[in-house]
Amino acid sequence: MNIRNFNDFKSFLFENKTIKQTIFKNTFWLAIAEGTSKSFKLILLIYVARILGATEYGKFTFALAFVSLFVIFSNFGLSRIVTREFARKKEKEKEFASIFSLKVLLSLGTLILILGGSYFITSDLLIQKLIWILAVYILVYTFSEIIYAFLEARQQMQYESLAKILQAVLITGASFFVLFNFPSVKNLSYGYLFASIITLISILLFFHFKIFPLKISFEKSIWKKFLLMSWPLALGGIFATICSQIDSVMMGHLGMITETGWYNASYKIAEVILLPAGLISASFYPFLSKFFSESREKLQNTWNHYMKSIIFLAAPLVMGGIVLAPRIIDFIYGPDFNPSILAFQILIVMTGIMLLNSPFNQALIISNQQEKTFWIVLSGAITNIILNLILIPMFSLYGAAVASLITFLLIFFLLVKFTLKFTSIRPFNFIILSTIIGAIFSSGIMYFIISQSVISRFNVLFLVLIGAIVYSVSFFIVDKISIKTYKINRRRQI
């Protein structure tokens, strides 16, 4: 598509024209939204940790981790199924009223579960109150997921992007106001809650008047149909949440509040690093779903591009994260959080594995094999719980980090095995293998450059920038050579 004037530029970013343009448009908007949201949250949490200290920060993250264990019950896997089904058949949008009503009921039920569970997880009255406030906040915050699922099915991520930016700005603004004027974890929780309520009201009003009219409908047949499709994802989501949150809950329950603060300080950075995978996944998912029923060749080609993008991102993030961990932790949190360094180095490897998991997980879902993802994540959750029970009492936050790493390694191997067995995707092909080799080679060059004494003395942000440029240029050159070699070999075979 040629962009010659402002109207062409506007059309390029707001309308769906071609497959490549739509993927780029969606990725662009999601990148802005997630980049803004995650950046604001990271900056906010850095100030929370610095102003309130590791112990108070630990209380906040412990309460938030406990609440997060229950969030999946409020969605029950519906968002992914709504996107998949609506993307395939637009006429199914008439069922959205019943799905929206089901989401309301699930959220209310989840709130009751959290309030009841708070009395069993801790006897600390302050932490109990934090759990109550954050329970309402996170249910309000995640309620918009069902709206986003509808927008993603229509491939209108620009509206989702604007909503997420609004949410990030309001939460960050309210929280900073509290931190600088009434600093306490309880007041901080109220700031989160207030901002999320304002955002949700805005999203619902916009969606109702501009996108699709909202109404309440209690058609149990539609509930049953979607719940039968979503339950494997829901149960898989429960166990995935256990894998990511149970370590913080266990440490908090055992009284390791300060250690929970150190651990989550490193984990939050790792979560930001996962941002690209979420953006890429959301952009590719509708097309993977569409091509599954249309063209095996298009499905494989699209998945190859998806996996190639993930590999391109994962390799330098892991290498750079390990090498620069001491500088990163000191720059962000200060010397009081030095115990977070080793945990971060372990978690950054885990993050690389989680990035690679995403394409395989999507392959199973779009192939209607979501039941398999349930068994995979169940295996991971059981492994994670057992390892945490053994390693946390012995090694504290480092035990939790190792438990997470081993868990996601297991999940990765199972995802690869099930993708090979139950889908038409062939993950081990020339494009993927050459991308892996190129990423490893380029990461090695990046490490060599940033480890030179002349360069390593620079500010960590400058090191990250240099590393990114060196890696990208190296990868681009290697990738071009690989593609050219592949085309020459194919011509010879023909």
Half-sphere CA count of 335, side-chain side, radius 13 A: 0
Mean pLDDT of all residues in 407-429:
90
Instruction: Say how far apart CA 440 and CA 434 lie, in whole Å.
Output: 10
Query: Among 160-164, 282-286, 367-371, where is mean pLDDT lowest?
Result: 282-286
Burial class (CB in 10 A: 0-12, 13-18, 19+), 488: exposed
The pLDDT of residue 368 is 81
The pLDDT confidence band at residue 409, using thresholds 50, 70 and 90, is: very high
Instruction: Say how far apart CA 494 and CA 483 lie, in whole Å.
Output: 17
The pLDDT of residue 21 is 66
Please report where in the chains the tokens 């939204």 appear, as a residue. Answer: 33
In the chain, % of residues over pLDDT 90: 18
Query: Do residues 385 and 407 make contact, with C-beta atoms less than 8 angstroms apart?
Result: no
The pLDDT of residue 347 is 93
Single out the residue of 83, 105, 71 nearest to residue 220, CA to CA: 105
373 versus 173: which is more confidently predicted? 173
The pLDDT confidence band at residue 487, using thresholds 50, 70 and 90, is: low
In the chain, % of residues over pLDDT 70: 91
Output the average pLDDT for the chain.
84
Query: Do residues 323 and 464 make contact, with C-beta atoms less than 8 angstroms apart?
Result: no
Mean pLDDT of all residues in 61-69:
88
Q: Which two tokens stand for residue 430?
A: 């020339």
Q: Per the confidence metrics, is the pTM higher than 0.75?
A: no
The pLDDT confidence band at residue 257, using thresholds 50, 70 and 90, is: confident
The pLDDT confidence band at residue 12, using thresholds 50, 70 and 90, is: low
Query: Among 18-22, 252-256, 389-393, 436-440, where is mean pLDDT lowest?
Result: 18-22
The pLDDT of residue 82 is 83
